[in-house]
Each structure stands twice: as structure tokens, then as C-alpha cells.
Chain A
């Protein structure tokens, strides 16, 4: 199991040349090999979505992919959402609408919502609810997450 493969993960525009075992998940590689610990791991079986990142424009569960599958691909994580000091509208909306409490699931929700809205800016409310029900949050009861994402969607459309 210890045979390692050299790969390059491009995370938030920066190349990370790392060597990983074939079985290494993308989530572990992002966190441990690349030191980007904002992406969280909640279940490691693809249910909770805490590890959601955006890869080549699509939200993916990084616990369900091997790092080697992401070789050379463009990955965005929560650390890359803000533009310098200026928060992404989704981050701002989560704060404004109290869309987080403990904050553990938050990076996954942010990346899921941003990924989907960039792909589909005019998504309907009911389709958005479908999308958001693919991640789990145990603190907020979802109401304020939905409110935040809808507000950010509006803001993202006007930019």
C-alpha cells in the first residue's frame, strides 16, 4: 500500500506537487498533503457533504474520489472563495442570515451552493432545495442556510 504516485493538485490557483498512495482520498490529500484544512470530513462515505469542493466547475464530494483522480485538475476550496479581504457573497450571506452555528458543515455547504449557482444562476427555489438537501447540517435546521443561499444567489446574479 505504500507505493506512492506523484501528482499535482491545483488548489485555488496554486499547484501542490505531492506523492500519494493510490488509496488516498482527495479529501485527505487536500487536508493533509496540501495543508488546506478548511475542507472538513464528516462521514467518509459520501452522505454528509462536509468535504464538498469544486473541481473543474462542479461540486464534488472529495471523500468519494481518490487524489490520483484529481491529478492536474482545478480544485476550489473554501479558502479560495474570498477575494482578498472581500468575502464572497455566499460567505457574507451565511453570516448575515445566520446560516451557520458550529461551522463544521459550512465549507461544504458554501462550495456546494457556489458551485451550483455558478453553473445554474437562475435555478428555481425548489431545485435549489433539492441541491441543498444533498448535504447535512445538524445545527441550523436548514432554514437559515436556505435563506442565505437564496440571498447570495440574488447577489451573484446582479454582479
Chain B
């Protein structure tokens, strides 16, 4: 029996359920920081008046500090720099303008209230389409027309396919702006040690090493003088994979004050300035032949990237992913796309769980449903005709899809949900004034991709690979050090399961160390559904090397060939005999009895693994059943069903948990969550009473069905699945709402589909009638 594939209880949990976790806010500090933030969206910063005697740092104090300037070398990217504190100009509400230091957090906040800002307010623009107008305010001189990047593609056969089409179907979708809203807001604690001249930054991040690299670049000192620790991190979902300028400020202050200094973001700061995402307009047109087969796809993507470009991905991450992955799970040979990233006077955008895929899946799944309607077909049938079913498949954008189960998961979901039974209930409901709807979303989730995939975007910082070390210490316990930086995914457990199988020991004997640049090897962190695939792959590679060495040592001691020895239950066993040696003894010998190995085995028991895979595609079909109250616009998600395939599952309990959590966010994105700016760039959603993550009430029971197609692009055969829930759910829910509303002849193509928006389309229909 293997550890992999079992619902092993998490090694992370005992500390977390007893209040023994270590989160950033738990450490005391000598000084506390409060950031004074711009109250206006645009303007010239004429003067900052600090109260007498207070320590108030402004841009003028930051001599020699560079701006954060992420870089892309493609797509007409115009680099724009973000100062740690506003330099003469403010560009969004919430932008840090000054850093106030006090003895306590409360004192720092009191002082910050007394800092007077004189700002000559200028016209602001918060909507991306408006920002494209000739008359719109110009936000950065480096990005004329407010366009920071532009991607274009057109396949040679596009025009022929387009003009030869039987039917063209068009949808215009809008995704409103969202905030990942981890339950723990961001925060950092920096300290300085005079004896070594080193600073330590403990912060709530998904990427400790990159945080170190970026801060040392901006502040101008060697990386060896900075230790970055990601302790327990209370969720991230992408928001904590981009560099917080505030963290660089903390390190600067700790070095200046030669002491400890902390800033814990409050919820208002997080909602207005903690990175946003998903603010996009997509116009998507599909050319279909007479059999409703998609022959060409035409997309226009306008992504609002906010006021600056995020580090390290740059603001290209949303528009360029949308361009590259728009066709999703559908076979289409011809493609034309224009993708633009547009600067506005709003909070900077950063990746959020799924990045652009929740939006492009929403777009293409609306397109498919609309096409089905146009052809008088069932939504399931049109998907059957268009889903990819031969592998490896090369997409029109050159992505190689490994084997997956797009059609099989669709059929599995259709069978499990009982579509005929639902249609009957829907019909009966309509006769009684009830409006039930069913919605499907099929999608591909590109996961675990390495440096070659990222290089296609032309990123100056090109992530992808991972590196690990696995050590068996002289007492027989294992320590694995990884560059990924999990924050709730249970990676300590799943990686321990992989090692346990290779080394024949129990997961409890294995400690996975992460989130500390002094202890873990350089790595890119945890994001993009990559950690289990890439760090897990590197772990498997390293563990196999350790296993080989253990067998070699056992072979010396037992005087049999390594091939005759198995490692199991903590023992090296000569196969078919009762001759054994404890693995702990082998480990001890590896350090203390090396003279016995006649120079044939190197001392110690540490091995390194590197992994840089090409990427693997998970897939799923989501089905939502909703109940829409047409009088109030209220939507209740009655049932949610998933048929998914993420390759080999390492821990089914943890995998299901990722899917549940992703779907809950997707339902929130579909129905509730929206960051709203007014016409002056003021932000109206600064509390959790205005920005609404779903509660237990809004999330129905989620029924999961699994297929496991082992990936040939992943050494563990596992595919990533962290984002899939969020990718499919908005499309499934909003397709279901449209199905429910079909008797009214209306469409809703906006997420979130709030009661107001649903009532608005219904009112328009009633007026027409």
C-alpha cells in the first residue's frame, strides 16, 4: 500500500487548531508603521505637512531607492515605475504617500491622521474603455493613450474561415473588479541585527525568495544581507504573490532605525490597495460551420491593469493569459485576437486564483450557450462537437495539451446531474412561477508549467523551475527543503506522502521546510497551481536519489545486490528473506561509518532535485443548478456538481478541499463580489459589508466526481488543481441564470450577476414587451 493516493490527515493541522500557528501579526515590534494613503485618485502632490516631532517618511527621504519597475520584453510593453511612496503625483485612492512611525500601531495611526496632504486634484479615469478615449487623462507619460501593452495575433487562415462561416455568434462579457480577500490581510515585520548587518523580513507572502530579490534590487544591497520568512500565511490566492511596496518600506525602516518595525494591513487597506483583479471587457465572436463546429475565434480583450504594473509577473499576466488561452478546451484552428492592458487611476491589478481564466471561460462558455441557442441545439451537444478529444493536441496558440478528458468529464457530469429529470422540474417550476436553470462550464486548467512556458510572455523575471533538497539526518528523520511557499494547500503533507513511498517510512518522520530564504533553496513560490506538480516532481527526483543511496549502503552492509533490497516500514529488507536493517541505521552509517564504504559512497545523505516541466492541463466540467427569483433578482445556487480530472491524486482529501474552496470563490465571483469605483475614482467598497465574499449560506453542497488520467508531462503523474474551482464556477452559475431567464428572452453577460443587474435586464425586457 502506498501513501500516495490516501486521505492522510494533514501534518499542518495540530498547530493550527490549537492556536499555535505563527502568523506575521503575532510578533511584537519596537516600532509600528501606518501608511498615509492618497484620498484621491489623481493629482499633483503639492505638499505633505507632518505634525511636529513625528517621524513621517516621504519620497524625499528615500534617496537612492529605485522604483519597482517590472519588465516585459514583448508586446509593445511600456515599463512604468512605482515609487515606494508617491513622488509628486498620486495615481489611485490608497496609494502610499507617507510612512508614519509610532511606538504602537494606534500611535502611528493617530499621527497619520494629523498628516496634512495638499493635493491638486486632477481628472481621474477608473474604467478601462473610458481610459482608451483620446480625451482621457494620461496617467503615465511612458504609456501614451494609457495602453501599457498590446498583444495581437491572427492566423493565416483566419479570414477564409471567418468569411466562409455558416454562422457568426457574438458575446460581449464584462467581468467586474474583484479582490482575492485572503482572511489574513497582508502584513510585514522587519528587524535588523547590528552584529551581522542583516535584516529579516517576516511577511505574508507566497514568494519569499522573489521578495528578497526584489527588495534588494530596489533598496540596493546584497541579498545575503536580507532574510525573508513567510511564516504561516493566512491565504493568498495570488494577492500575496506580487511584491507589496510596503514590505520594501519596512526593510528600509528597519535598517534606518536599526530595530524592529511592523505594519499589519487592515481590511480597508486590503480592499482598496491590496491588489485587485479580473476587471476586463471581452468581446468574443465565434465562426461556426453548418454542423455547429467552431472554425474561427475572434477576441478583443481590454484588461484594466490599474495604476502600476505588478512585480514579478507584470500587468501582462491578465491580458496575455486571456489571449493565449482563450480557446480553452475547444478545438479551433483559426484565431484573431487583440489584447490590451490599460492603465487607469485604480488599484494595481495582480493575479488572483485562475487569473484570466475565470473570465475567458465565462466568455467562451457564454459563446457556446449562445451558439447552441442559435442552432436550436442542446448546450451539451454543442460542447460534444467542439471539445478536444485527441492528444497531444497543439492549440492554435501553440500550447501543447497533454492527455485529458474533456468529453468524458462532460458525459460524467451530464449523467450524474440527470438533465432530463432537471428539465422536467424546470418545466413544472415555470408553470408555477419558479425559475430554475442549469448551466455547464467545461474548461482546461493549464498547471505546473515551467520556465519555457513563462518565457513565451517575455518576462524579464521568468519563473518556472523548482529546486529541493531531501536529507535523511543521522537519526533517520527526513527534512525536505523546498523553494515553493504553501499557505494553506497542505503541501507539507502531500510532499511527505511522496517521500514516504520512496523511502519506505511514514510521513510523520518527514518535515518539509519552506518559507525561509535562509533555510530553503531559491524557488519561485506557490502560485499558478504549480507547487505539487513542480515542487512535488523535484521532491520525487531527489527522493529517488536518496533511495538509491540508501539501497547502496544497505547493499554494502547486507552484502547483497541493491536490486534485491526493498525499503518498507522503516526497514531495508532483503527481498524474500527475514534479513533487515532499520533505515535509521543506514542513515547513521551514512554519516558515521563512511570508512566502511571503501570510497564507493559519498558521505552524508542529502540529495537535490530540480524540475522544470513543460506543463500539464487539468480539466473539468462544472454544472450549476440555480433558482432565480425574477421579482427580486436573487439567485440561489441549489446544487453544484463537478466532474474533474487532475491526473494522479496524491491526497484525495486535500484535492477535494482545493476544489471546494475554488468553487466557493467562483460562486462569490459570479454572484456577489465586486470592487466598485465612482466616476471620480473613489472606491465605494472598503469594508466586508460592501465587498461580499460568500458565507456558508451561499455555498451549496458540492458533489465531486473524479477521473484520474496520469500526466506524461509530470513525473508524479499529478496535475495541478488549485485554480480549477474558481475557473469554471462563474461560467456555470451565470449560464444557469441565463437558462433560468430564457423564457424572458434576456441575457446577462456580466459577473457578478447581482440582483440589481438581473432585475435591470428583466426590466428592460418588460419595457420592450
List chain A positions with a Cβ less than 8 A from chain B: 1, 21, 23-24, 31-32, 36-45, 47-48, 50, 77-79, 81-82, 87, 91, 94-96, 98, 100-107, 110, 129-130, 132-146
Contact = CB atoms under 8 A, between A and B. Distances in A.
B17 A37 contact: no
A132 B17 contact: no
Interface stretch (B231-239, B357-365, B402-410, B713-721): B231-239
> Chain A binding site: helix, strand, loop or mixed by DSSP?
loop
B487 A95 contact: no
A138 B665 contact: yes
A24 B110 CA distance: 13
Interface in B146-187: 181-185
Contacts of A36: 19
A42 B186 CA distance: 10
Nearest to A39: B19
Interface stretch (B273-281, B292-300, B621-629, B652-660): B652-660
A103 B657 CA distance: 13
Nearest to B664: A141
Nearest to B651: A98
Interface residues of B, number: 55
B21 A103 contact: yes
Max chain B C-beta neighbours (<10 A), residue from A41, A47, A101, A142: A101
A143 B725 CA distance: 14
A138 B19 contact: no
A130 B110 CA distance: 38
A110 B20 CA distance: 14
Contacts of A82: 18
Nearest to A145: B696
A103 B18 contact: no
B18 A96 contact: no
Given A81-B18, A141-B702, 15 more contacts: A44-B266, A45-B687, A47-B688, A94-B13, A101-B235, A103-B21, A133-B695, A140-B657, A140-B664, A141-B662, A141-B664, A141-B665, A141-B699, A142-B699, A146-B696
A140 B235 CA distance: 11
A24 B109 CA distance: 13
B267 interface: yes
B198 interface: no
B234 A40 contact: yes
Contacts of A100: 13, 16-17
Interface in B491-544: none
12 contacts: A42-B267, A44-B266, A79-B19, A95-B9, A98-B654, A102-B487, A103-B15, A103-B234, A141-B660, A141-B725, A142-B699, A143-B702
B185 A42 contact: yes
Contacts of A95: 9-10, 13-14, 17
A25 B18 CA distance: 22
A18 to B, nearest CB: 14
A39 B664 CA distance: 24
A141 B266 CA distance: 23
B28 interface: yes
A40 B184 contact: yes
Most A C-beta atoms less than 10 A away, residue of B233, B234, B653, B696 = B696
A129 B330 CA distance: 39
A77 to B, nearest CB: 7
A81 B185 CA distance: 25
Nearest to A45: B687
A98 B18 contact: no
Contacts of B490: 101
Contacts of B661: 101, 138-141
B699 A143 contact: yes
Contacts of A137: 183
B142 interface: no
B23 interface: yes
Interface in B1-39: 9-10, 12-21, 23, 25-26, 28
Contacts of B664: 138, 140-142
Contacts of A79: 18-19
A147 to B, nearest CB: 10
Contact of A102 (B17, B184, B693): B184
B120 interface: no
Contacts of B689: 45, 47
Given A44-B267, A138-B183, A141-B702, A103 B17 contact: yes
Nearest to A50: B183
B97 interface: no
B489 interface: yes
A41 B688 CA distance: 13
B653 A98 contact: yes
Interface centre among A48, A110, A142 (most CB of B within 10 A): A142
B106 interface: yes
B183 A105 contact: yes
A141 B234 contact: no
Contacts of B654: 98
B582 interface: no
Nearest to B662: A141
Contacts of A24: 106
Which 9 A-B residue pairs are closest in the complex by CB-CB distance? A38-B19, A104-B234, A102-B488, A103-B16, A141-B664, A141-B660, A78-B19, A47-B688, A101-B488
B695 A136 contact: yes
B697 interface: yes
Given A78-B18, A139-B661, A103 B106 contact: no
A143 B19 contact: no
Interface string B677-688: 000000000011
Contacts of A105: 183, 234
Nearest to A81: B18
B267 A87 contact: no
Given A37-B19, A40-B23, A87-B18, A103 B232 contact: yes
A106 B687 CA distance: 21
B701 interface: yes
A93 to B, nearest CB: 9
B657 A101 contact: yes
B733 interface: no
A47 B688 CA distance: 6
Nearest to A38: B19
B234 A23 contact: no
Nearest to B18: A82
B487 A38 contact: no
Contacts of A98: 10, 653-654, 656-657
Given A44-B266, A98-B657, A141-B664, A136 B18 contact: no
B243 interface: no
Contact of A91 (B17, B183, B487, B488): B17
Contacts of A32: 28
A10 B235 CA distance: 31
A141 B663 CA distance: 7
A38 B19 CA distance: 4
A112 B220 CA distance: 47
A128 B494 CA distance: 32
A138 B235 contact: yes
A124 B662 CA distance: 28
A29 to B, nearest CB: 12
Contact of B25 (A41, A77, A136, A146): A41
Contacts of A48: 183, 267, 688
Given A50-B183, A133-B696, A106 B660 contact: no
Contacts of A31: 25-26
Nearest to A146: B696
Contact of B106 (A23, A39, A107, A110): A23
Interface string B254-269: 0000000000001100
